[in-house]
Structure 1
Amino acid sequence: MIDAATTELEALIGTRAACRLTGESRATLHRHRNPKPPVRGPRRSAVHPVALSPVERAAVLDELRSDRFVDKSPAQVWAILLDEGTYLCSISTMYRLLRGHGEVRERRRRATHPARTKPELVATGPNQVWSWDATKLAGPVKGVYYTLLVMLDIFSRKVIHWTVIPQESQWRAKQFQLDSIAANNGVLPGYIHADNGGPMISKPVAELLIDLQITRSHSRPHVSNDNPYSEANFKTLKYCPAFPDRFASIGEAQRFCRAFFTYYNDNHRHSGIGLHTPATVHDGTAHRIRAERATILSAAYAANPGRFRRPPTPPRLPSAAWINEPTKENINTEFVA
């Protein structure tokens, strides 16, 4: 329609004015009126008249493949031959000839790493799987940090042990494992999971856990989801309204963490464990508390049934806690019993 309108106006006011009024490009109008003839048959690749002949290409390849130049780059070969008074072709032509024969590749010996196995652990009760990690606490001035180590039970979410230290080391990490077991009245877990930090994978920690017959488990590098319970615990800590921007001293950091983790274990109703406190789930009293909650809710329903759509029940306690729960088709999951 635009072409037709342009044609009608063109006879009255000219091509340029008609295209301006209709909004059509003059180049488009010319292309529509003068289409290119269709190309018939296969197109032949254009060969430059001064391109290397097959004999010259073979000579270049023979030179590049010779014992003298087989380990050198085309740029070095080109420069050496030029210094000797020989010019065969350009550097880019050498690369093009080698590329055409599949002989251009990365020559350096590159490191290869085996695929990391995704950790898959499940705990169906306390003291089966523990998880620990470290986080930084800002000190009194910029650049000064304290390190907080936290060990928790992934099933009950209870913080088994914590400590604030000036900096991490493999020996402090080893002592932290021993202190965590002592804080749990000497009860050993079946597994201890951690990320791939230096102290976590250090030899003293590894030897200690082997001696105690505790299975080690580690996250994949740069995959924070492999240690979700410790990461969530640190978020709860640092999102606390009372959490300060900086701690004036390591003693102040210890006092704050002592108050926080005491509250967390004994008073914080955790949504992931049926709104019970981690301490009651860890010591097994949560089942009795849930039964008492059910009794109170039943009484409330009996007194005012019209206020409920159905008989209320307290939140259920978890049956299992997973680190990377596999799909049902995966049969290689290691269950912790």
Structure 2
Amino acid sequence: MTVMAACRLMGISRATRYRRGAPPRARKAPVPQKERPQPAALTEQERARIEAFLIDEEYADLSVSQVFYRALDKGVYIASESSWHRVARAGKLNGDRRALATHKPSVIPELCASRPNQVWSWDITVLRSVDRGRNFRLYVILDVFSRYVVGWRLEPNERTFEAIDMITDALAREQTKPEVLHADRGSAMTSIDMNRFLAKLGITQSHSRPRVSNDNPFSEAQFKTMKYVLDYPRHFNDIEHARDWTTGFINSYNTEHRHSGIGYYTPESVHNGSWLALRQQRQAVLDAAWAAHPQRHRQRSRAHTIHTESWINNPQQRADRLEKLSQTG
């Protein structure tokens, strides 16, 4: 019987019969590229020689390309320039190879205010003009405990002597001086003239860490409150327009705005202590409402009191957050 007839009888093709009779040899698993022998690869001795050039004291401050060509000028050729760069990357010898200055970590400011005029915070924000490229600078000093604006000034530019004048006027109005004046690291805040002025008055300076806005939270929050009111002009016609609007806003902020951070009392009432009488008044109204309809309340309402301390970077809260993160992580 022929192969063709037998395959037809069995119901298989001739290719299947031949394949089963002479199966192909098993192929070895492919070798990964990195494990294959590379005839052009550098030897360990050559790599070590390149690294020796890169860490040599004579070349330690030079780029990899500079070292390669200086070695080439001395008649030394180990590998191509790109190979030198690969060896440098593998040994973390690339990037800026100069001896760079190191700085101590910035100290986290930790400030606590337990009464008005103990800690002041100040900052400068930009108010836009209708004229492109011409803006105004609003300087504001805030009492950290009461959130009361103790001083402000609006000028075309940011300059140290204007900030000093603003602080001087605030000290005269308050008839006292704070223990600490906190600010960020703007040029007016860290200038030599400002340092001398505050040192002469015996006021301790405190500064935010670089690029950390949370280190000056009260001033930042006050600026946000200002720029989110409904009648805030996105652009001011001129500096007098800006001063007039700011005067109205700050008067309203100090005397009318119920601040959530101080029990929804006004900054002025907390600053001068009149919030205590207002709290009693609120409590009397709440007691009358309870007496009239006790069934409407699950419990007797209590008028808000204010915080006993206002912190910038409370260390206990920070420790609690870190502990919680460590537990969840």
TM range, normalised to the smaller chain? 0.7 to 0.9
Pairing 1:141–2:131 present = yes
Distance 1:34 1:300, change over 3 A: farther
Distance 1:58 1:289, change over 3 A: closer
- Alpha-carbon distance in 2 for matches of 1:248, 1:48: 72
Letter in 2 for 1:89: A
Pairing 1:124–2:114 present = yes
Matching residue within 290, 295, 316 for 1:306: 295
- Residue 115 of structure 1 corresponds to 105
Pairing 1:90–2:83 present = no
Pairing 1:172–2:162 present = yes
- Alpha-carbon distance in 2 for matches of 1:65, 1:221: 33
- Residue 326 of structure 2 corresponds to none
- Residue 234 of structure 1 corresponds to 223
- Alpha-carbon distance in 2 for matches of 1:66, 1:293: 77
The alignment partner of 2:101 has SS state of: coil
Letter in 2 for 1:90: S
Distance 1:38 1:121, change over 3 A: same
TM (norm. structure 2) is 0.78
Distance 1:320 1:75, change over 3 A: closer
Unaligned 5+ residue runs, structure 2? 1-10, 13-23, 320-329
Matching residue within 284, 287, 304 for 1:295: 284
Distance 1:180 1:89, change over 3 A: same
Q: CA deviation at 1:245?
A: 1.6
Letter in 2 for 1:314: A
Matching residue within 153, 165, 188 for 2:143: 153
Q: CA deviation at 1:111?
A: 3.3
- Alpha-carbon distance in 2 for matches of 1:194, 1:215: 11
- Residue 335 of structure 1 corresponds to none
- Alpha-carbon distance in 2 for matches of 1:228, 1:67: 48
Q: CA deviation at 1:260?
A: 0.8
- Residue 260 of structure 2 corresponds to 271
Letter in 2 for 1:175: D
Distance 1:172 1:36, change over 3 A: farther
Q: CA deviation at 1:284?
A: 0.8
Q: CA deviation at 1:93?
A: 4.0
- Alpha-carbon distance in 2 for matches of 1:217, 1:155: 16
Letter in 1 for 2:215: D
Question: Which piece of structure 1 moves more, 279-288 or 102-111?
Answer: 102-111
The alignment partner of 1:327 has SS state of: helix
Distance 1:133 1:100, change over 3 A: closer
The alignment partner of 2:288 has SS state of: helix
The alignment partner of 2:257 has SS state of: coil
- Alpha-carbon distance in 1 for matches of 2:96, 2:195: 38
Q: CA deviation at 1:90?
A: 2.2
Aligned 8 A contact 2:60 2:98 in 1: no
Listed one character per residue, the Cα deviations across residues 107-130 of structure 1 (whole Å, up to 9, x for unaligned) are 223232221011111111111111
- Alpha-carbon distance in 2 for matches of 1:298, 1:324: 37
Matching residue within 223, 237, 241 for 2:212: 223
Q: CA deviation at 1:247?
A: 1.1
Question: Which piece of structure 1 moves more, 274-283 or 94-103?
Answer: 94-103
Q: CA deviation at 1:75?
A: 3.9
Q: CA deviation at 1:91?
A: 2.5
The alignment partner of 2:124 has SS state of: strand
The alignment partner of 1:199 has SS state of: helix
Distance 1:205 1:46, change over 3 A: same
Letter in 2 for 1:143: G
Q: CA deviation at 1:222?
A: 0.9
The alignment partner of 1:134 has SS state of: strand
Matching residue within 265, 273, 283 for 2:272: 283
Aligned 8 A contact 2:138 2:152 in 1: yes
- Alpha-carbon distance in 1 for matches of 2:52, 2:148: 72
Alignment of 1:180-199 (within 5 A): 180-184=170-174, 186-199=175-188
Q: CA deviation at 1:171?
A: 1.3
Listed one character per residue, the Cα deviations across residues 153-196 of structure 1 (whole Å, up to 9, x for unaligned) are 01111100111111011111211211121222x21111110000
- Residue 201 of structure 2 corresponds to 212
- Residue 258 of structure 1 corresponds to 247
Aligned 8 A contact 2:62 2:97 in 1: no
Aligned 8 A contact 2:182 2:205 in 1: yes
Length, aligned pairs only: 297
Unaligned 5+ residue runs, structure 1? 1-10, 13-32, 331-337
The alignment partner of 1:253 has SS state of: helix
Q: CA deviation at 1:210?
A: 1.0
Distance 1:157 1:34, change over 3 A: farther
The alignment partner of 1:252 has SS state of: helix
Letter in 2 for 1:287: L
Q: CA deviation at 1:92?
A: 3.7
Listed one character per residue, the Cα deviations across residues 219-260 of structure 1 (whole Å, up to 9, x for unaligned) are 011111111100110011111111112111111111111111
Q: Which has the higher helix share?
A: 2
